[in-house]
Structure formats: C-alpha cells, structure tokens
Amino acid sequence: MQRNVTPHLETTTSIGSIALRQQLDPDAQFGFADFLLQILLAREVLLRLEREGPGDGLARNRFGLTDRIVYDMVASVLWHRNLEQAGGGDFQAAPATRAAQMDGISRFVDALDWPFGGEVRARAAEIAGLSPDELQVGVRTWDWMNGLLVPGSFFALATLGAVYELSATLRLHLPDKVVKLRHGLAGLVFPARAYWSTRCPVAKVLAPLAGVRQACGWVGPTPAPVLPGDAGGADFGRILEVRAAPPPFPRLSTNAPAPAAPVPAAPGVAGPRWDEAVPPRPAGEVVTLTALRLSEHRDPQRGAEMAPTFDASVEFTVRGAPAVLALRTNVLFVAAVACRGNAPHRIPQAARTAYRVTGLESVDLPGREAPAEGEDGPIVVIHAAGGHANEVLARAWCCQVGRNAVVWKEGGGCCFKCALLMASKEGLGLGVVIVS
C-alpha cells in the first residue's frame, strides 16, 4: 500500500482531489484506477483486522499500520458508506445522502450566522435537487456533497472550503494563506465578526459570550478583533493564526497519598463527620468586555505563503478602570462532569485538607499573579457568575497566567464537591475552578 503512486491523504486533505485528479489535470501521473486500487487494498486490510478481532489482529498488527494506511482505511470506510456504483464505472452518492449533506452545510451557516449564508443555502438547496448529470461543482463541494471529508484537524478547513465554494461571492475570494492545521490556532476575521478554530485560545476565552456557538471545528461569531493599523477584517474573510504557548500539564505526585487519620465521632453521633461543599456566592459586580486586540508578530523565518501570526489580548472595564489580559497560553478548560449517586455530595472531615479553597472574585483578577502551584496548595475558586464578560475575564486570566481550569455551573448536573474533586490532586490536578 505504501508503494502506490497516489498522494498521501495527510498532505492533500481531500479525497476528491485524488479521485478526480485526471479530470483536474489530464497530465497527472496517476488516475482513478490507481486511487480505487488503494481504496480496495485499504478496505481489505480493515476487513482482515475486523475478522481477527481487537484482542488478536489489532494487537499484533498495530505496529505495521502507518499513518498513510490509517488515512486510506478511513477513506475506504467513507467511500463504502456514502457512494454507490453507477453506470460506466462511475460512483455517485445516493440522493438522500446528498440532500442530508446539503442540509448540513445550510445548518452550519445558520448556526454560526456565517457571512453570505443566504447564498450558501440557496446553492445547497439547488444542488440537492439536481440530477447527477446536471451537477457541476468544485472539488471541495464534491467532497462535502458525498460525505467524504476526512475527520480530524483537516475537517474544519475543508468545511470552510465548501462554504466558500457554495457562495457566489465568497468563491472568488478563498483565503490563499497557509495555516498549520494541527496547531488549531487559526482565525477568520470579517469586518464585523470573526470565527476561530475550537482549539484556539481566543475561541476558548470568548465562548461564554451570548450568541457564540460551535460547529464543525469553528467557534463564532465573536466580535471582530482590533487589528494594527488599517489591517481590518477583509470583506470576504482574512485568515490568520494566534500565537500562544502550549497548555501546561499538572505536576501530580507519583507517591501514594498517606492514609487519613480517623476522625473521632462527635458525642452522641455515630461514624465520621462530614462537611457541606457550599459554592461561593459572588458579590455580583459586572465587568464590561471592550475589545479583543491582535498585535502582529513578525517572524523573518515565516514564508510569504503562511498566514500572519498575532498575539491576542482582551480588554475590559473593571470597576471603571481599563484592564488588559494577554492570551499567552493555550490553556485547557474542562467542563465539570455530571456526578453520580445522591448529590450533592459532602466532604469527609478526614479529607478536608484536600478540598481547601482560595476564593477570588473575577473583578479582582487583573494584575493578580497565579497562586503558587503545589501538591498541597489550595484549589483556586474564581467567582465568575456575574455575567458573560465575567467568565470571559476569568478565562483570559487563566490564559495569561498559564493555569488550566475546571468550569462549573450550578445546576449543571455536577455538585460543587465533585467539581472540587476534579480540580484537586485526586482528580485532574488542575487546581482552578471557574464558577460560571
């Protein structure tokens, strides 16, 4: 399989650009038959592994499965699932598949309020009603229409390509700069709004704002950032990347915790005593988000074909004074998982030290350094329930000081004690809880 003449899917990111290469380039060094052979070989490998079972074949053969083979197996599954053989050796998606795919792209532009979304919906509805002989679409739309988008880091940009091709206005202005897909730090800026990759720190910080949604690897629409000079968002979208350090990893102890000393029962009470885990009650002060600002970072080693990189910061008004927080680190925010049993749970007094808390108001965060990390340090609980901008401020502070956090919402299915457990050294060891 590795000696096949077809390109690697990891570099092309598009099944259509390989399957239709002869139509796109008559002088291509490979054709549809070469692609189909690769798909058949990958399908055979997958069927053999499935027949042998996960306890035998997968364990014995996993070291021979290169990235290329895995990508080809994924392509073979998508091809087998969504395409049917038609006359003349051609393959076509069933009408129901094509209609579902076109409905999906319409829902995407509706959910994210995408610019020129009306043009996308109109063209998608038209394609859904055409016969196979009437279809004339670009490669990006062909991939989407047939359900052949490769999952993973390529999916978001492939979706973007389909949206641009379906819009009569946008298809003439497809972004031509290169972004590092696996880093997940891309953004697309329009004059009045912006969209960000789900793993981008700007997306993570601005996600609590009203009207911001996530779909197909994109988060938006967020307010458009303030760019240096006259470099505002292009009318048809300007693609860029945000610079941020990778997320920190908690330093957990490899030593087994010392057994807790028994707690004597109170007079007349049998068994150990328990403490209630009471969530903090914020003072209710509201902050105002005033701007997202990007400042360009010039790297002489970055080629002209690459999208420009920017450092991001978020500006607020807190108690009548301006405050700026820099998004230096691409930290992780983990939603508190619903707990089980008879919630709300309580803390045994023997484990009280593991649940020590330092409370902070979101309005007090600007200018404050992160508490020192340590196995026995208290859990930092940030009161950010005063409004959407309060939680944005709390998340921006975490990005500035480089601290991952658990995000907890009262009534969201997780009690406060279990949120503290997730953030403690007995859980994920993040040491910070944001009360949203």
Least confident piece of the model among 19-33, 202-216, 344-358: 344-358
Residue 120 has phi, psi (to 5 degrees) of -65, -45
> Which residues in 186-230 belong to E strands, given as ranges?
186-189, 194-197, 213-215, 218-222
Query: Rounded to whole angstroms, how far apart are CA atoms 76 and 299?
Result: 40
Q: How far apart are CA 60 and CA 1, in angstroms?
A: 18
CB atoms inside a 10 Å sphere around CB 414:
22
Cα separation, 42 vs 238, in Å, equals 38
CB atoms within 10 A of CB 383: 23
Q: Worst-scoring range by mean pLDDT, 9-18, 92-101, 165-174?
A: 9-18
| pLDDT: which is higher, 338 or 271 | 338
Cα-Cα end-to-end distance for the chain: 51
Please list, residue by residue across 299-336, b when 16 or more beta carbons sit within 10 angstroms of its beta carbon and e when fewer do: eeeeeeeebbbbebbbbbebeeeebebbbbbbbbbbeb
pLDDT at 269: 43
Least trusted range by pLDDT, from 95-99, 321-325, 391-395: 95-99
| 285: CB partners within 8 A, 6+ apart | 319, 361, 363, 386
Read off the pLDDT of residues 78-102 as tens digits, 9 standing for 90 and up. 999 999 887 777 888 888 999 999 9
Name the region of 314 (left: φ>0; alpha: ψ -120 to 50; beta: rest).
Answer: beta
pTM here? 0.87
Please say if the pLDDT value at position 172 is more than 80. yes
DSSP string, 53-115: -IIIIIHHHGGG--HHHHHHHHHHHHHHHHEEE-GGG-EEE-HHHHHHHHHHHHHHHHHTT-T
346: β partners: 276
With H, G, I as helix, E, B as strand and everything else as coil, classify residue 123: helix
**Res 385: pLDDT:** 81
Whether the CB-CB separation of 159 and 218 falls below 8 Å is answered with: yes
- What does the alpha-carbon distance between residue 347 and residue 417 come to, in Å, rounded to a whole number? 7
Supply the pLDDT for residue 132.
79
